Amino acid sequence: MSFLQALAAAAAVLWILPQCRAIEEVTTCAGIVPMRWRREVISIADFGAVGDGKTLNTWSFHKAIYRIQHLRKRGGTLLYIPAGVWLTGSFNLTSHMTLYLAKGAVIKATQDVWSWPLVDPLPSYGRGRELPGSRYMSLIQGNGIRDVVITGENGTIDGQGDVWWNMWRQKNLLHTRPNLLELINSRDIIVSNVVFLNSPFWNIHPVYCNNMVVKHVTVLAPYDSPNTDGVDPASEIGGKTILWKSFDSLNMFFSSIFSNFIASNFADSFGIPCMHDSDSSSNVCIEDSYISTGDDLVAVKSGWDEYGIAYGRPSSGITIRRLTGSSPFSGIAIGSETSGGVENVLVENVNLYNIGIGVHIKTNIGRGGYIRNITISDVTMNGVGKAIRISGHVGDHPDDNFNPRAIPTVDGVTIKNVWGEEVEQPGSIEGIKDSPFTRICLSNVKLWGVGVSPWRCTDVSGAALGVNPWPCPQLASSFAMNNC
């Protein structure tokens, strides 16, 4: 049994053991997407790739993935990326594969923007997000795929975004910038233990997907990098996640199991008792990650104005847990593109620092759709411009064809157990005159700062309990807290 086959089996067991421990020790949304042990392992170096940071390896990635797609090995194939800097253009993933980045491995995007391929706009957006027409393909793309894992030993996917950011600043972009990773109409996806660095645009963008796992990822971009959102789930995303232990313990375990696995040829490697939940497969789970970028850390979306209304694909069942991060924009955002609807979102145990807006729920006239059944709890903030903003007057339109009578609804938003220090403004809740926000409930929200200004509220009803500074009267007296 080869070293790479041992690596594949070890990766699968490393996924299983912490999952069992996580069920006992930590609340997690684990279980729906199992880590796969791939029977075949190939290396990108086998396809002529050179990890010197200079050789362009796009063709090597295409050849390797073409082989996986067409040979269809039973159990799938692991594509191993060794230590080194592997320069490449865009490439598509395929089903039943694992993209495994070894320690010290860097998949680096070429900065030759003129040869970057174009793809059609998403149907729920109707055009590129920045410019009409086509958009640049993401560095790593997948469409209609299933059973895909992107993982490793904290290797890096580097978008080299500065050339794109400068084009945006100079207003000479021809098309919407590429994401680092975009998955479309896909299911049973795991993204874990990978660093996403300097994306040209959004970092991780799953759209029209089910059973999506994002965990133990690090997402980094400069504070002034434009539109470098961390994770942007959009329209029917789902999944559950599994909690890893520290990477030090992972390395120790790796070292200890190789000899046993090879000696036994992996015969008993999966005889490990483990209980895990296998339902709620319509949810996406983002857990145990660190994000520091130039835009929203996590933004839940579901389509843009008339295009999103026509496509009609909601985002629902989203869990965001144990997230830490910093941004000049929002920590946790919903919207503003919510035309397909957003519902059943749970956010808990979030730590934000040096943040523009802690929690930002945003929509606009012309969006249509709904935002409902949102629960955000156990959030700490330090160094915040505004702690909470819920607004019906945020976001641009794709064109002049939006329907001004498409009025969104916002109902059933609970924010509780929030502690903020060095908060400049506590918050604002600004509903829409013809569609007031309802059941907006604040509980145990303590915000401290120098010269804290008062809350500002319009066109909203709800309740508040244990809030400092005391909120606006629309929340203090509208109806009993037990209706929240």
Catalytic residue annotation: 295
Report how far residue 258's alpha carbon sits from residue 262's, in angstroms, rounded to the nearest whole number: 6
Strands (DSSP E) contained in 168-297 are 181-184, 187-192, 194-197, 204-207, 210-215, 218-220, 284-292
CB 332 within 8 A of CB 347: yes
Strand partners, 330: 357
Tokens of 74: 């039973």
Report how far residue 128's alpha carbon sits from residue 319's, in angstroms, rounded to the nearest whole number: 27
Give the closest residue to 422 by CA, choosing from 380, 451, 379, 383: 383
Tokens of 126: 């109707």
Cα separations in angstroms, 355 against 47, 107, 203, 221, 401: 44, 29, 18, 14, 34
**HEC profile of 55-67:** EECHHHHHHHHHH
Strand partners, 386: 357, 425
CB 87 within 8 A of CB 54: yes
The answer for 481, left when phi > 0, alpha when psi is -120 to 50, beta otherwise, is alpha
Other CB atoms within 10 Å distance of the CB of residue 175: 19
Quick one: how far is CA 148 from the chain centroid?
Answer: 16
DSSP 285-314: EEEEEEEE-SS-SEEEB---HHHHHHH---
Report how far residue 193's alpha carbon sits from residue 288's, in angstroms, rounded to the nearest whole number: 10
Report how far residue 460's alpha carbon sits from residue 470's, in angstroms, rounded to the nearest whole number: 16
CB 28 within 8 A of CB 321: yes
Report how far residue 467's alpha carbon sits from residue 452's, in angstroms, rounded to the nearest whole number: 13
Quick one: how far is CA 82 from the chain centroid?
Answer: 25
Cα separations in angstroms, 337 against 201, 213, 319, 427, 481: 16, 22, 19, 21, 30
